[in-house]
Structure 1
Amino acid sequence: MIDGTRKTIRALRWGMVGGGRGSQIGYIHRSAALRDRYFDLKAGALDLDAARGAAFAADLGVERDRTYPDWRAMIAAEAAREDGIEVITVATPNNTHYEISKAALQAGMHVICEKPLCFTTAEAKELQALAKARGRVIGVTYGYSCYQTIEEARALVASGALGKVRLVNLQFAHGFHSAPVEEENPAIKWRVDPKFAGPSYVLGDLATHPLYLSEVICPDLRIRRLMCARQSFVASRAPLEDNAVTLMEYEGGAFGTVWTSAVNAGAMHSQKVRIVGEKASIEWWDEFPNQLRYEVQGEPPRILDRGMDYLNPAARADDRIGGGHPEGLFESWATMYERFARAIEAANEGRAPDPALRYPDAAAGVAGVRWVENCVRSADAGGIWVDYA
């Protein structure tokens, strides 16, 4: 149980690119990284408008001479300082992720990057190889992956409680963009512009979240082939989709479905993961993240709550406040950042991290980009089955 005891020797010197004033995702990153003081915000290039970024950095307590007009200036200056930043968070539009991450790795910095890590699998693998060659860590912010109930789901599958997995049913289908809201909201507008967002909208922005959760819960499943159909119900978003359905065949016979949408009118998040086995099923819903539904055939359904002694030790390890009290997205993100810090500290010391330490790493970034590429390839060919390349 987390009781305030540090899991690293010290806080890491940390910088941010993007995430300036008014940025929701920037606030989430800072709240998570600073909550347990695993990171100290020392530098920033927070805004395309240098003056506005400097004013906000001052509000955050960043020293004036470590507030930069752009990411290039920050990486160059910080790499030259004896007390320069060790790790950089990239919280910018998708089209900048590859270039910034590559430059930071080449400068000897660790990278924490928003997803998608980049646009192509080739680029993602290049970053992965560069990080390995430099002994640096890449973390990708799949922020839903560190809930205790996800760890419990993983433990249940590993224990054989479900039997052989047959079905993987995933969805992330909200309704907040059922109208062309991007016309009035610049923070949404770039997400539906291929120049900034890349080859997809909801497939990359939403679907990769439950996909990664399924990979955490069922790490032995491998996709053999898939078929994807995507639609642009708000016509101005074409060629990017605001709704998509993907079918997946796994090696070994399991079958998967993914429904992802931004036009599910009336729905909130509706991110759900259901794993169906021979003997039992589990289901997790991000609107009720403190509970995991466990259903054994022929028995009454069970609701497993976070923080309880009946959970697997791995699920209880990151409990912050005991059973009964609700935890949420900020706690999951804070746990993710704590795991990033532990992995980075190990890399700084030239040792392997704890083999039990799980976090969304470069391989997770590669996997997400690869899945989106295959979905787009299938959809653009008319929604056909394609072998998983």
Structure 2
Amino acid sequence: MPDAPRPGRRTLLVGVLVLALVAGAVVVGTLAWQRAHRTSLEQALAVVPASSVRVAFTDWSGVRRTLGADLGDTPSRDAVEAFAAKAYDADLSAASSVDEAAGALQQLYGFGPATARWEAYAQSRDGAVMVLAPPDGTDYDVLADNLRSAGYDAPAKRRTDGGVWVGGIDLVSRLDPTLTPELQYVALLPGQGLVVTSDTEEYLASSVAVASGDADGLTAKAGVDDLAGRLGTVDNALVWPGDFACEDLAMSQADDDDQAQADDLVRQAGGVTPLAGFAMGMTADRTLHVVSHFESSDQARANLRPRARLAVGEAVGRSGRFSDDFDLTRSTAVGSDVLLDLAPKRDDAFVLSALYDGPVLFATC
């Protein structure tokens, strides 16, 4: 039997092209499915490193919708800064790492809070990274040209494929005083529809692997999907996967007298179990969803009443009582989670920013 004819060059090229088109269609289809089935918060947590211990998230599309702000594709710096001020006053930018630089970002880089879909700032013990989702249809060649014009050194690879654009602290501080050090190094990921930045080149490179799907994101960590799913659709959020909330929010930040008072209040409430995860997110109607994650459903049920009591009790280490500022409108245990909804008593209350720094007694361990 004669050997089958070897495909000619044209046949091979056509085959490669077909495979490339199929691969591209798979990527586009995957992104479309994620957009249709996952909240922006869930999308963001999937593309930040699994080692992250705290993630600050802002759904900028939601913020603009809540504020009735339509800035167009190329807003002026004045318009962007007016929007950022309005978002701050409404406590909708409390979780953002770049809200103060919104005008400079849009003017110099071509992306930022005024046009982005969402932003996530993830901190780990090894570094920090910002992942930002520009609007659909963004021309990443234009973003690359903006970086070049700003003075960044282009990556050795093709300029929009995830290579690191090198700026450095001197460049960033010279460009605009509002820019933060996390913009020293930038990577563009058009295939994923993302921009990734960090203050160190090494951490950015490792984070790009996550955002590209080549390494595990935070949703690979147990309990993170539950935290995000329980929060639902929120304009902004803080997520503490694992037990880092016990360090970041717990009463260990208070002085000795306050810690002793807190211990007494916890005993009176019935005692608590250490957290295995914690999250707070604010909805468009300014309700604050609070999710406490535990190792088991038994622990969640045991913690429900004590955590609810602490959420309306004395704000030890702060001032007054939590109930001075919030009404507890829901408390329930679902699976391994305790869910609390806190509604602010004043329209001008700072809802999320009032609680994202410790000590917060109802988040104690």
Q: TM-score range by the shorter chain?
A: under 0.3
Normalised by the size of structure 2, how large is the TM-score?
Answer: 0.28
Normalised by the size of structure 1, how large is the TM-score?
Answer: 0.27
Highest relative contact order (Cα 8 Å, sep 6+), 1 or 2?
Answer: 1
Richer in strand (by share)? 1
